[in-house]
Amino acid sequence: MTEQLKNTALIDRFGRRVNYVRMSITDRCDFRCVYCMDEEMTFMPREQLLSLEEIVSLLTAFAELGVEKIRVTGGEPLVRQGVDWLFKELGALKQKTGLKELTITTNGSQLPKYADDLVASGVDRINISLDSLKADRFKALTRTGDLNRVLAGIDAAKGAGFKRIKLNAVIMKGRNEDEIVDLARFAIKNDLDISYIEEMPLGHVTHERGESYCSSDEVKAALDAEFELISSNANTGGPSRYYQLAGTNSKVGFISPHSHNFCETCNRVRVTTEGRLLLCLGQEHSVDLRAVMRDYPGDVIRLKQAIIDSMEIKPKGHDFNVQSQPIIFRHMSVTGG
């Protein structure tokens, strides 16, 4: 069976090949962003989380099953103790398996401490969340965040030598839609890319998502009024549709789960902090990989077979409805975006 599984690709029942895994390594975060979590959160007990060693074993199995890209997320991944060891282990997979790219999504607060180590460990690209350039507004959106610390983190990332740095901005009406152009100008000035993200209805939050929803078409219209956007075939393995900002090195992307559904070409699965394999961000189809690993420690074949079998329940797409109460009650911090 070992040889039989060695060259097995992860292909779902709709013929889509899964070659990208997003791994949430903690539900904890030093921010409390309004679209991501409640102000008062109850986090998971430590024993429910996958250990760092379990994460390495699990992602090694995925890489050996043909996964070419791993993105580490949170919560805020860089607040987890021992994260520097984890990235060294994951970076080594690029020499041992067919893994081609190791990336991270972060709020930027810990990058002054970790940016150099991440590059040295083999992290290729980094996404940094930045929803406002106004200190007071940034504090209101994140509840606990310090804009100056994030800007210092961006500078640290630029100095560390990542292959590419991208900003992520969730645009919400009545919150930050008046900064769409300013955020693009900031990206251009700093030779960064930027993706604008439609808010996803995951977990209960304190605002009405239907009222704050800003579509990618509205964001693009604001940018079209100031810049020339040239359609690009750039692809980073995720759902962003990219445009080149004419006369610059920067690209702008749009992640549009509502207005431009991208499920048809989905190549991704997610693993939550407690080891549950989610086959779709917007559905509850899942497999408890933690149970497999803890009931059968060291049984790599059984673990891989569970992953292969999960492809049969990967749904065709999500059913997001920004106008209604969420049908998915887990917060983004558990899933990692």
Per-residue confidence (pLDDT) for residue 201, from 0 to 100: 59
Contact residues for 221 (Cβ-Cβ < 8 A; gap 6+): none
Distance in angstroms (rounded) separating the CA atoms of residues 17 and 3: 20
Per-residue confidence (pLDDT) for residue 20, from 0 to 100: 96
pTM to 2 decimals? 0.88
> Quick check: 134 and 179 in contact, CB under 8 A?
yes
Per-residue pLDDT of the chain (337 residues; tens, 9 = 90+): 455 565 678 999 999 999 999 999 999 888 877 887 666 666 778 888 999 999 999 999 999 999 999 999 999 999 999 999 999 999 999 999 999 999 999 999 999 999 999 999 999 999 999 999 999 999 999 988 999 999 999 999 999 999 999 999 999 998 899 999 999 999 999 999 999 998 765 444 454 545 588 999 999 999 999 999 999 988 877 677 899 999 999 999 998 765 555 577 789 899 999 999 998 876 667 899 999 999 999 999 999 999 999 999 998 765 544 545 444 444 555 555 5
Domains defined along the chain, listed by start: 2-335 (3.20.20.70)
Per-residue confidence (pLDDT) for residue 329, from 0 to 100: 46
> Quick check: 307 and 82 in contact, CB under 8 A?
no
Per-residue exposure over 190-207, b if at least 16 CB sit within 10 Å of its own CB, e if not: bebbbbbbbbbbbbebee
> Quick check: 142 and 32 in contact, CB under 8 A?
yes
Each as own residue / partner, the long-range contacts of residues 305-310 (CB below 8 Å, 24 or more positions apart, any chain) are: 305/1, 305/5, 307/10, 307/61, 307/62, 307/65, 307/277, 308/5, 308/8, 308/10, 308/65, 310/269, 310/277, 310/279
Per-residue confidence (pLDDT) for residue 326, from 0 to 100: 46
> Quick check: 131 and 176 in contact, CB under 8 A?
yes
Q: What six digits make up the tokens of 257?
A: 């789960």
